[in-house]
């Protein structure tokens, strides 16, 4: 970059990474699992993300090296299988995230075009947007930073407006009653279980640790940007989740899980014409947000795979670059996996897998920061992050084993495949 980024730009980048499409994709899943306590799931997850952001910032400052999670693990473990498994998990976690964005894009686009998201058109549109951005990235084209910043501001403005209008509708207009059936209508542990489906919404702040040398003020500005972006995003998530679960009944949430935010926006108004306009506004914002997130995540994940391959933790095929410096095979393989995920998986399967993947990675980073007393840090904060990132994992897995065994086997099968891949590749490398 020709100019360094100040705190305002860093916060915009962080918020853009955090609210990259996740709220449009996973809110319905969170509301289905946690009910009226969905806003608490986002609040608790935001606190865990804040503690994890602290660990990322302190480790980056200690090592004085860009690269994020894989770099941290590479420095702190002598076991190549552990570092390799973290690399695999990160990449497949990003694949799940992109599949989630593509699923949301297809759902909103299909609903705008034909009035329903549950058709073959959803899958076709989801795969089509992945193919389109794969082609763009193969040519080495990136969207400009200026347009990304504008998109972030528009997206945040729409979500804040939704939240404020929703609060007015609930507490001034009295057109909806909060907490019908009680806050914990799905049980006391429901918000903790719900974190297992929405934690992927908090993974985006990591990108600030990848390019902190482009930030004016370096580590200090990056750290402030991480905390502010997580705080702003958490406030938006909590506000939007509260309004949505208040204005929509559980039955309405279940019926429109893929496009629940747009449906909730339309329910804030009485006039049918304004209802449709509100639905379209939020749906269009979701389209722009998810396409931008797909492009940026595809670009970053392909280059992450390239870096991991150069370190020997992935097959060398992933390290091949074309004349434009684009990691061709890395991009094609990752895009292909994303298309398979979004075509064959349900929204809940995709988001839960991605959330669990990032929780495991964040938990590893928190553990490293907690254990190393040479790092300039308070051990309490990474300790909170470590407990937070692992506490909900057995609960979400038990929830799926009890209510949706197929989901449990789907998520567990993917992680088992990653372990087998890493061990098989490691043994081949030794030979």
Question: What tokens appear for 329 in the block?
Answer: 């095979």
Alpha helix stretches (DSSP H) within 200-249: 207-210, 218-247
Using DSSP's 3-state secondary structure scheme, residue 215 falls into strand
Using DSSP's 3-state secondary structure scheme, residue 326 falls into coil
Question: What tokens appear for 162 in the block?
Answer: 């939704």
Domains of the chain: residue spans and CATH = 7-423 (1.20.1740.10)
Pick the closest to residue 49 from 314, 309, 392, 338 (CA basis): 392
- Is the backbone of residue 5 left (phi > 0), alpha (psi -120 to 50) or beta? beta
- Give residue 431's pLDDT: 45
User: What is the Cα Rg of the chain in Å?
Assistant: 21
Question: What tokens appear for 184 in the block?
Answer: 């914990």
Alpha helix stretches (DSSP H) within 115-144: 120-138
The CA-CA-CA angle for residues 142, 134, 121, to 5°, reads 120
Which residues share a beta bridge with 5? 215
Backbone angles phi, psi at 215, to 5 degrees: -105, 130
- Give residue 21's pLDDT: 67
Over its length of 431 residues, how does the chain's per-residue pLDDT go in tens digits? 345 667 777 787 788 778 866 788 888 888 888 999 999 999 999 999 999 999 998 998 888 776 678 778 878 876 667 777 888 888 888 898 899 889 989 999 999 988 877 778 999 999 999 999 898 888 765 544 455 567 677 888 889 999 999 999 999 988 888 998 889 988 888 899 888 888 888 988 887 776 666 677 778 888 898 999 999 999 999 999 999 999 998 888 888 887 899 999 999 998 999 999 999 999 988 888 888 788 878 887 887 888 778 877 777 888 888 877 788 888 999 999 999 989 887 888 888 888 888 888 899 999 999 998 888 889 999 999 999 988 888 888 888 888 878 878 888 888 888 888 777 766 555 54
- Give residue 145's pLDDT: 47
Provide the whole-model pTM: 0.86
Distance CA 317, CA 306 (A): 9
Distance CA 349, CA 190 (A): 18
- Measured N-to-C along each axis, helices 347-371 and 190-198 cross at an angle, to the nearest 10 degrees, of 100
Pick the closest to residue 362 from 334, 348, 382 (CA basis): 382
- Give residue 48's pLDDT: 95
Cβ atoms of 407 and 348 closer than 8 Å: yes
Spell out the long-range contacts of 166-173 with Cβ–Cβ below 8 A and sequence spacing 24 or more.
Answer: 166/239, 166/240, 166/242, 166/243, 166/244, 166/246, 166/247, 166/264, 166/268, 167/239, 167/243, 169/243, 169/247, 169/268, 170/243, 170/246, 170/247
Alpha helix stretches (DSSP H) within 311-346: 328-344
Pick the closest to residue 103 from 233, 287, 297, 266 (CA basis): 287
Distance CA 385, CA 128 (A): 38
- Give residue 146's pLDDT: 52
Q: How far is CA 26 from the centre of its chain?
A: 9
- Residue 128: CB atoms within 10 A of its CB come to 16
Distance CA 284, CA 422 (A): 40
- Give residue 20's pLDDT: 67
Identify how many contiguous H helices and E strands the chain contains and give both numbers. 17, 0
- Give residue 2's pLDDT: 45
- Is the backbone of residue 40 left (phi > 0), alpha (psi -120 to 50) or beta? alpha
Pick the closest to residue 405 from 334, 349, 342, 366 (CA basis): 349
Distance CA 116, CA 47 (A): 36
Pick the closest to residue 353 from 388, 287, 397 (CA basis): 397
Per-residue DSSP letters for 157-185? HHHHHHHHHHHHHHHTS--S-TTTT-TTT
- Give residue 70's pLDDT: 77
Question: What tokens appear for 220 in the block?
Answer: 């200090």
């Amino acid at each position: 970059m020709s100019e360094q980024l100040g705190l305002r730009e860093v916060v915009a980048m962080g918020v853009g990474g955090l609210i990259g499409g996740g709220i449009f994709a996973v809110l319905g899943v969170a509301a289905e699992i946690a009910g009226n306590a969905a806003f608490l799931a986002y609040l608790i997850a935001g606190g865990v993300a804040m503690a994890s952001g602290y660990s990322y910032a302190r480790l980056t400052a200690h090592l004085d090296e860009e690269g994020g999670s894989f770099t941290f693990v590479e420095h702190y473990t002598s076991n190549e299988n552990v570092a390799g498994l973290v690399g695999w998990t990160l990449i497949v976690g990003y694949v799940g995230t992109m599949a989630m964005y593509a699923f949301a894009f297809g759902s909103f686009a299909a609903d705008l075009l034909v009035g329903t998201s549950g058709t073959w058109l959803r899958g076709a549109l989801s795969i089509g947007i992945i193919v389109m951005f794969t082609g763009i990235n193969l040519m080495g084209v990136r969207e400009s930073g200026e347009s990304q910043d504008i998109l972030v501001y528009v997206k945040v403005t729409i979500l804040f407006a939704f939240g404020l209008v929703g609060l007015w509708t609930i507490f001034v207009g009295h057109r909806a009653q909060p907490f019908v059936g009680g806050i914990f209508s799905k049980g006391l542990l429901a918000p903790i279980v719900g974190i297992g489906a929405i934690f992927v919404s908090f993974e985006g702040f990591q990108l600030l640790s990848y390019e902190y040398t482009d930030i004016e003020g370096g580590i200090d500005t990056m750290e402030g940007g991480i905390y502010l972006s997580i705080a702003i995003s958490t406030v938006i998530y909590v506000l939007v989740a509260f309004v949505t679960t208040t204005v929509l009944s559980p039955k309405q949430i279940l019926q429109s899980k893929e496009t629940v935010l747009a449906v909730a926006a339309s329910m804030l108004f009485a006039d049918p014409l304004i209802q449709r306009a509100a639905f379209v506004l939020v749906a269009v914002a979701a389209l722009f947000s998810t396409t931008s997130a797909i492009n940026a995540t595809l670009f970053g994940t392909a280059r992450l795979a390239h870096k991991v391959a150069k370190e020997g933790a992935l097959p060398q095929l992933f390290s091949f670059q074309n004349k434009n410096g684009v990691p061709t095979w890395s991009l094609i393989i990752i895009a292909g996996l994303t298309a398979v995920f979004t075509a064959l998986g349900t929204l809940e399967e995709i988001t839960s897998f991605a959330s669990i993947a990032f929780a495991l990675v964040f938990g590893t980073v928190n553990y490293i920061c907690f254990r190393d007393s040479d790092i300039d840090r308070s051990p309490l904060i990474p300790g909170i992050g470590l407990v937070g990132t692992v506490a909900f994992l057995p609960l979400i897995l038990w929830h799926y084993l009890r209510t949706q065994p197929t989901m449990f086997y789907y998520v567990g099968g993917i992680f088992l495949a990653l372990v087998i891949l890493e061990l098989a590749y490691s043994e081949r490398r030794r030979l």
